[in-house]
Chains A and B, each alone.
Chain A
Amino acid sequence: MENTDWSDVVASRNGDEDAYARLVRRYEKPITSLLWRFTRDPVQCEELVQQVFVDAYFSLKTYRGDAPLLHWLRKIATRTGYHFWRDKAREPAETPLPDSDLLEQIEAAQDDEIDPAEAATVLHALLARLPADDRLVLTLMYFEECGTQEVAERMGWSRAKVKTQALRARRKIKEIAEREHLLERLGWIL
């Protein structure tokens, strides 16, 4: 762990607001990047980023410093995003797949010409059709390139649970993609 992080953590614990603001500025970018996988609404995303740093502040005394601060923050962010999905799941709304114009645009382009934001929109819309647990495992594996061990550590789940969840989630998303004829619609990817 960087000494600057640790000294800012200690100062923050002692009530130094400027030290905590320095930590927030240092890590808001990677945390935003992670939470952008949980919502594509910038207002909600900013709200979640704030929530992560507020929760982290009140849990600072539990941070022992044996792992980098960013790992610890990512764990909090993942759980915050997961709870956000769980709360949203109570509202009966399904994210529609992108309209046909967007799909045609993607289909017409070469791989290099594809807008990553549009690729992300398609993938998010697909993942949004899964239950929160399945969605979380695949989101972390696809976007964060996490292995089963890391997903398990972030969520406090057993590795066996994550493996089973990943297997089930892959099967479900494959079924959804095939039902929607996604591959035919995304000709560029074949």
Chain B
Amino acid sequence: MDTLEALARLARKACEEPVPVFDVADGVRLRIRSEKSASFTWIPLGLFGGVSAVAASITLFLAIEFWKYMSSPVMELVAPLPEMRLW
């Protein structure tokens, strides 16, 4: 008999094997509950991350706009701050 044919026959025999029986409904219910509660705690964190990213983008946009209107950005950086009366 060919090896592959023999393996197929072995497989047919193996298919008659009794399979264990589990009752997973309660375990599944518990895992779903725990994953749901875990996902709830992630929402505020995700929201905070999203708001931070938007704020950072706005700041970057304003900084670039300001940078474009500087006549000499390097000189502006090293030049002393103009004295100004605050009160």
Q: Does B8 interact with chain A (Cβ within 8 Å)?
A: yes
Shortest distance between the CB of B27 and any CB in chain A (Å): 5
Contact code string A92-105 (vs B, CB < 8 Å = 1, else 0): 00000000000000
Contact code string B14-46 (vs A, CB < 8 Å = 1, else 0): 111111111111111101100100000000000
Would B35 and A58 count as touching, CB distance under 8 A? yes
Q: Does B6 interact with chain A (Cβ within 8 Å)?
A: yes
| Cross-chain pair count, CB within 8 angstroms | 108
The SS class assigned to the B binding surface is helix
Number of residues from B at the complex interface, CB < 8 A: 29
The SS class assigned to the A binding surface is helix
Q: Does B7 interact with chain A (Cβ within 8 Å)?
A: yes
Would A54 and B31 count as touching, CB distance under 8 A? yes
Q: A32-B21, A49-B22 are contacts. A190–B10 as well, Cβ < 8 Å?
A: no
Would A189 and B1 count as touching, CB distance under 8 A? yes
Chain B residues packing against A (C-beta within 8 Å): 1, 3-4, 6-11, 13-29, 31-32, 35
- Ordered by A's residue number, 23 sampled pairs between the chains whose C-beta atoms are within 8 Å are A21-B28, A21-B29, A25-B25, A28-B22, A28-B24, A54-B28, A57-B32, A58-B35, A116-B18, A119-B13, A119-B17, A120-B14, A123-B14, A142-B14, A143-B11, A143-B14, A143-B15, A173-B4, A182-B6, A186-B10, A189-B1, A189-B9, A190-B6
